[in-house]
Every structure is written in C-alpha cells, then in structure tokens.
Amino acid sequence: MSVTVRLPTLLRPHAGGEAAVTVAGSTIGEVLNELVQRYPGVTAQVLNDDGTLHKFVNVYVNDDDVRYLSLLETPVKDGDEVSILPAVAGG
C-alpha cells in the first residue's frame, strides 16, 4: 500500500525540498519508519529515540489525528493522505 505523506516546511529540506512524498505501509508506524529510513534527517523531528511519536508533532490520516485513534498502530489504506504538522504552543 502506498500513501502520500505531506511534509511541513520545516521537514522539506530533509526530503530534498519535497512538499509530499509517497511511501508504503499499512500502519502509521510503518509509514513513518519508511519515511525516516528514506530521509534520516526527518527522524528527530518526528520520532523519539524509543520510536514513539514525538510530542511536538501532530500526525493525521486524512483529517483524523492519530493521537485519538491508535497512534502508530493506526491503519492506513492505499491512497490515504498522511499529514505531519508541528504542534503549535502559545502562551
């Protein structure tokens, strides 16, 4: 299965300037693992050292936040769109 991963401006330099890339996987974890294998510079921005999702990044499958689904076990299907967005904090 292949999905389109939309990258925020912050991650694009690590992915050859691409705004979106196509990767394979059947879960968010598999998709992100392939993404970081292909573009190692993305790793620190997306995953913690233990392989969990970084708390300062939001990941969506289509329009659904994976934090409210099954996190890295969230299933994806062919043609889904995964968006990675930096978390916004304010004071």
Distances 75 to 7, 56, 67 between C-alpha atoms, Å: 19, 21, 13
Domains contained in the chain, CATH given: 2-86 (3.10.20.30)
- Note the Cα 69 to chain centre separation in Å: 14
Residue (of 7, 3, 4, 31) closest to 17 by Cα position: 7
Residue (of 24, 25, 29, 23) closest to 74 by Cα position: 29
Residues in the chain with pLDDT values less than 70 = 89-91
Phi/psi at 79 (5° precision) = 90, -5
> Do 66 and 59 touch, CB atoms closer than 8 A?
yes
